[in-house]
Amino acid sequence: MDEIEQLRRVVRDHLERDPGAALRGGALDPDEVRRLDRDRWRRQASELGLPGVRIPEEFGGAGMGLAEEVAVHTELGRALDDGPFLTTSLVAAALVALADDEANHGRLARIAAGDLVAVPVLPIEEKFPLEYPHAKAAAGGDFEISGELPCVVDATVADALLVLADYQGFHAFFWVEANDPGVEIVPLSTLDLTRRMGTVRLAGARAELLAEQDRARAGVAAIRQGAILGMSAECVGVAERALEMAVDYVKVRTQFGRPIGSFQAVKHKCADLLVSLERARSALSVAVRSVQHNDAIGRRPESLAGLAVARMYCGRVAAEITRESIHLHGGIGFTWEHPAHLYYRRAVSNRQLLDSTGQQPRLLTASVLAAHGEDTQLASFYAGKAGR
């Protein structure tokens, strides 16, 4: 077993011993998921080192690499974990890239210890909306931010927000404490019952400037990349588990005097789902390798093309497999008590977030053209969309 596979086993064993709301058995209570079980999050920190997987060791993290982090996301997806790893890991990655000072080191250490839940607040879409939070200088060297952003994952349980705001016409990142009187977070009903979202309303919230312009743009890219890989990996884990559950079920469910999994109509469907799962696994590893290889040498179009493969496939495949898993379970799969719908909900939700505007395929084409040095309108069109 290679190291990544070992890491996955360790995480899986821990999550089986200490499951989240989805897999504790019985019907899921959505109200229970809206709250964050902080003790459990701290156990994930102290026993697994989860929130600090990629935080450098000098700041209390495990200092692991991208492949390890992706493996953790895969296992968390498999377990439909409702902890805030997706969001805190993105903030941690951004903080490492954005600023190297005492205050940040302290934040990283608290994130690694499971004591600080911080959430990135930036638009999901590739193309920025005309209106997103904007900042202005305030008295005392601080800043004030106003604006609103919907569908911010984990916003309802955050201690702090890493907000991307428009400052004097450029991107800038700000740190905002969630208990600031200028911050209002409105919980949203979510399709994915194991993922919290909220609308963040900022009305003159006090903010600390962390980075602006080029550095902020690099932070946007880092967060987006992390979110794409994280959600794509979750999709792979979700799809793996949903297919396993379906296959286990059709082996034991008997009709017409034999297991339904012996009928070709059923087994061929399962085989097709396996092929789809392998596509999703490959799409994820294409994206990871593409980022590892191309980012290091500054080949951004190639890197984006690799990421786009994961964005196109992982969500689509997870939605397909989880939907068919409900079908293969028959009526029992459509009951509230059975977890099949929770996997379906996570898969569809991630698919939507991974390509919210349906633009990914054509952006991929543009990236391929740009990577081949084809100086077309598309390539420049894309360059205009990729950053601001």
Out of 263, 292, 300, 323, the residue judged to bind another protein by CB under 8 A = 263
- Expressed in angstroms, the distance from the first to the final Cα of the chain is 44
- 3-state SS class at 173: strand
Alpha-carbon distance of 235 to 287, in angstroms, equals 14
Q: Which of 214, 362, 383, 387 binds another protein (CB under 8 A)?
A: 362
The nearest distance, CB 4 to another protein, in angstroms, is: 12
Task: Verify binding: residue 374, another protein, rule CB under 8 A.
Answer: yes
Q: Residue 136: what residue type?
A: K
The stretch among 12-20, 142-150, 264-272, 293-301 that binds another protein (CB under 8 A) is: 264-272
State which of residues 98, 366, 379, 386 lies at the interface with another protein (CB under 8 A): 366
Looking at 54, 195, 281, 345, which residue binds another protein (CB under 8 A)?
281
265 binds another protein (CB under 8 A): no
Give yes or no for residue 202 binding another protein (CB under 8 A).
Answer: no
* Binding window for another protein (CB under 8 A); candidates: 49-57, 122-130, 216-224, 364-372: 364-372
Give whichever of 5 and 100 is closer to another protein, judged by the CB atom.
5
Near another protein by CB under 8 A: residue from 213, 262, 357, 380: 262
Q: Which of 30, 361, 384, 387 binds another protein (CB under 8 A)?
A: 361
Determine the Cα–Cα distance for residues 174 and 101; give it in Å rounded to an integer: 15
Q: Which two tokens stand for residue 295?
A: 């980012």
Alpha carbon distance 307, 288 (integer Å): 8
Q: For another protein, which stretch binds (CB under 8 A), given 58-66, 100-108, 208-216, 309-317?
A: 309-317
**283 sits near another protein (criterion: CB under 8 A):** yes
Site for another protein in 236-255 (CB under 8 A): 247, 250-251
For the stretch 353-358, contacts whose Cβ atoms lie closer than 8 Å and that sit 24 or more positions apart, written own/partner, are 353/124, 353/227, 353/231, 353/315, 354/228, 354/231, 354/232, 354/235, 354/310, 354/311, 354/314, 354/315, 355/311, 355/312, 355/315, 356/124, 356/125, 357/125, 357/126, 357/127
CB burial readout 17-52, b (16+ within 10 A) else e = ebbbbbbeeeebeeeebbebbeebbebbbeebbbbb
Cα separation, 96 vs 77, whole angstroms: 25
Residue 4 in contact with another protein, rule: CB under 8 A: no
- Return the residue matching tokens 């309108």: 377
Give yes or no for residue 356 binding another protein (CB under 8 A).
no
Q: Which of 40, 279, 323, 385 binds another protein (CB under 8 A)?
A: 279
Of 295, 292, 298, 314, the closest CA to residue 67 belongs to 292
Question: Shortest approach of another protein to residue 368 CB, angstroms?
Answer: 5
Contact footprint for another protein (CB under 8 A): 247, 250-251, 258-259, 261-264, 266-268, 270-272, 274-275, 278-279, 281-283, 285-286, 305-306, 308-309, 312-313, 360-366, 368-369, 372-374, 376-378
